[in-house]
Amino acid sequence: MTPKKLTFLFSLFVAVVVLTGCERKEISEINSDPGRFTHQEVMVAGRVTQSIGMFSRGIYQLDDGTGVIWVYSSSRGAPSKGARVGVKGRVLPTMTFLGINYATVLQESDRRHGG
């Protein structure tokens, strides 16, 4: 394993330890049955693939390698595209049509940057 991969894995581990209080989930698990997680606090970690922010608010897309989820930040803005972060928050009601989930959103309550 390369030093860069070890650093990334260590950073994710630190983010998981720091964001205690809820169990870390894979994004694919949340997206496969969002109703099961609605209004529950979960933790995810990954790389920011899209980011839009203004006036201390923002929305960004997080990819953990299993899937992507949109994260809404009401007080910290959005991290830069490419940043690796761990996020804790509540899953908001989603938009599903004909059994296909179109918009699962996590409302951020805490965030840690992971290198």
Nearest 5°: phi and psi at 15? -60, -40
Q: Is 82 exposed, middle or buried (0-12, 13-18, 19+ CB in 10 A)?
A: exposed
Domain of 82 in residue numbering reads as 3-113
- What confidence tens digit (pLDDT) does each residue in 87-97 have? 999 998 777 77
- What confidence tens digit (pLDDT) does each residue in 67-85 have? 999 999 988 889 999 999 9
Instruction: Write out the two tokens for 82.
Output: 């490419």
Give yes or no for a contact between 72 and 105, defined as CB atoms under 8 angstroms apart.
yes
Residue 48 belongs to a domain with what CATH number? Answer: 2.40.50.140
- Most distant pair of Cα atoms in the chain: their distance: 45
pTM beyond 0.95, yes or no: no
Q: What does pLDDT average to over the chain?
A: 83
Per-residue confidence band for 101, with pLDDT thresholds at 50, 70 and 90: low
pLDDT at 18 over 50: no
- pLDDT (0 to 100) of residue 23: 77
Structural domains in the chain (count): 1
- pLDDT (0 to 100) of residue 6: 52
